Amino acid sequence: MQLTSTTLLKIQLYVTLIHLYTTLPLIGFGEGSGRTIRTRRTTASSRRKWRIYGKQQPPPLNIGQVRLSPPPSAIRRRSLLLLCSSSSLLSEMNSSANEGLYPLHRSKTIHLVRHAQGIHNVAGEKDHSAYMSEELFDAHLTPLGWQQVDNLHKHVHATGLSKSVQLVVVSPLLRTMQTAVGAFGGEASANGIDVPPLMAENTGSSNRPAISSLNCPPFIAVELCREHLGVHPCDRRRSISEYKPMFPAIDFSLIENDGDVLWTPNTREKNEDVAARGVKFMKWLLTREEKEIAVVTHSGFLYHTLAEYGDDCHPTLKKEMSKHFNNCELRSVVIVDRGMIGSDTSKTDFSGKIPSGADVPSDAV
């Protein structure tokens, strides 16, 4: 049976009424007692009486040909479970109403990537206290991490992402920039062509050749998508003046301070603050003119940011979004500018009447 939204609302209100009916005696209403709440109509001077039931039997609810009656007394105490179950059921029944339809130019495709395996990942998995080691400062990729990058690079080309991505946004730490240029950069240095490399040879003890920026999208470093700030040396960045010769073709112009003024040795950024920063970052993406963007960032940042989204989706989709990323994992999502944050105009819409003006009868032309 197809239930309308009005019918679903009636069912939910009735379930709530049953819940009140079974729990009110526990919060101060005596046996068989009831209360009358008077409310004034906004369009008339008359008053309407509403009765909240104590032990009195609430009336059945008629919905078309369906008649809902209160549960037998033997199961009235289970009404809280019924309420929770019904809410879940209503959510699933109403899931068909959760589809969203939005103008294409108000949306962007975002390819989210967690960096490949770094030396801090290996050390931290063996001993969590290793994250406090200064030896892991601005951790670089492991040899296995570079293999992961090579595999992602092949995937990016096989799926056509290398041609469709218009911008690569990267967290300004060594491991994320190595991952970004390795996955979305050129094959090797462009010999004989005067373009700056994305990465200089052997950057970060990589034992890798220089990576070309030829025929690649622009790369830009943004501090908003950094990992948890503070305490762990692996999450502290170098100065921008040190990074520039390592990654000559990455744009660092949006980073205001040469040194890392965001990282503090004694205070670790709270999860809710990371999430808030992530939401701010997503809003910043909506202000960009590019329609397809790759973001190379960190596990904690991705987890807490994505946890802020998907509450209006089916629980399975919410769970899918909330999973932790593996090293060098890529997931593609779509964000929609429902709040008119950006100012994009459609490049595919067609007005249907050119030139604009009053319609003219066909026989007058």
List active site positions.
Answer: 115, 227
CA distances from 161 to 106, 146, 246 (A): 21, 19, 25
Q: Tally the residues of the chain.
A: 365
C-alpha count within 13 angstroms, C-beta hemisphere, residue 295: 30
CA separation (Å) from 4 to 54, 91, 314, 315? Answer: 30, 13, 18, 21
| Cα–Cα nearest to 299, from 227, 222, 234, 230 | 227
Residue type, 197: P
The first and second tokens of residue 86, run together, are: 């019904």
> In this structure, how many other beta carbons lie within 10 angstroms of the beta carbon of residue 234?
25
Q: How far apart are CA 179 and CA 149, in angstroms?
A: 6
> Which residue, chain included where needed, has tokens 């939204």?
5
Bridge partners of 170, per DSSP, are 221, 296
Residue 197, SS3?
coil
Identity of the residue numbered 313: C
CA-CA-CA-CA torsion sign (60, 61, 63, 68)? negative
- Please state, in angstroms and as integers, the Cα–Cα distance from residue 257 to each residue in 37, 105, 235, following that order: 62, 34, 16
**Of 333, 326, 324, 334, residue with least CA distance to 115:** 326
Which tokens is 111 given? 């390819």
* Residues whose CB is less than 8 angstroms from the CB of residue 317 and which lie 6 or more positions away in sequence, other chains included: 310
The closest of 187, 191, 174, 184 to 247, measured between CA atoms, is 174
> Taking a C-beta distance cutoff of 8 angstroms, is the pair 303, 325 a contact?
yes
